[in-house]
Amino acid sequence: MIMVDQLGKAVQDSTGTLQILHGINLQLPAQTTVAIVGASGSGKSTLLSILAGLDTPTTGTVYLDGQDIFALNEDQRAALRAQKTGFVFQNFQLLGSLTALENVMLPLELAGQRHARTQATEMLARVGLSQRLNHYPKVMSGGEQQRVALARAFVVQPQVLFADEPTGSLDFATGHAVMELMLQLNQELGTTLVMVTHDRELAARCTMRVRIDAGHAHLES
């Protein structure tokens, strides 16, 4: 599903060139769960952003379902993301002016789905929020907001779900519940899940673990 070919990322700062990622090669099969782990500042989130086409590499490229995503322009990459991927973030990134239902409907409406309300309602019920459809994020707990974010990500049935510290801002019990829900939905829908996490339990539940150490990638058994 995802192939990474000689991926490198460098940025310029006041001291010169800072190499963030070094010649990374990876193959992530379809329907795999992948945890990207490593120390803070090792390059995990940069790698995830490049895999998702949100950031661009300095060298190398990424193939998503056989498509070289960096042979596309920015608008084409955005269209590819809308068609094939979903996202879950540590800080939820829900739209505060929209209800839970409206947040989940949004990607469906942008994709021109005719039955967005029905599909969003059903997905929110699957994540246990059928009684919170018309609530705004500000009156929901962190766990509830992350479940809305999961519903929004999975409702479009993405081929790949990218997650950046999906349990990072939650307490242990809530994070565990969100983790179980995310893995359950991922298995049911056959999605390829690629996530950055510091959660050792969550990483251990994944079928692949990629450790980033000072910008170098190593597969862990």
Residue 221 in this model has a pLDDT that exceeds 70: no
Phi first, then psi: what are they for 96, rounded to 5°?
-65, -20
Q: Is residue 106 within 8 Å of 78, Cβ to Cβ?
A: no
Phi first, then psi: what are they for 85, rounded to 5°?
-130, 160
Average pLDDT over residues 9-37: 92
If one compares 40 and 70, the residue with the highest pLDDT of the two is 70
Does any domain span residue 77? no
Token pair in block for residue 90:
């540590």
Residue 79 in this model has a pLDDT that exceeds 70: yes
CATH, residue 35: 3.40.50.300
Does any domain span residue 98? yes
Does any domain span residue 68? no
* Domain residue limits at 187: 29-56+82-220
Does any domain span residue 61? no
Determine the pLDDT at residue 98: 97
Q: Helix 116-126 crosses helix 142-154 at what angle (to 10 degrees)? A: 130
Q: What percent of the chain has pLDDT over 70?
A: 100
Residue 10 in this model has a pLDDT that exceeds 70: yes
Which residues have C-beta within 8 Å of that of residue 196, sequence separation ≥ 6?
Answer: 35, 36, 37, 44, 45, 47, 48, 163, 164, 165
In total, how many domains does the chain have?
A: 1
Report the amino acid identity of residue 121.
T
Does any domain span residue 20? no
**Average pLDDT of every residue of the chain:** 92
Number of separate helices (H) and strands (E) present in the chain: 7, 10
Average pLDDT over residues 22-42: 93
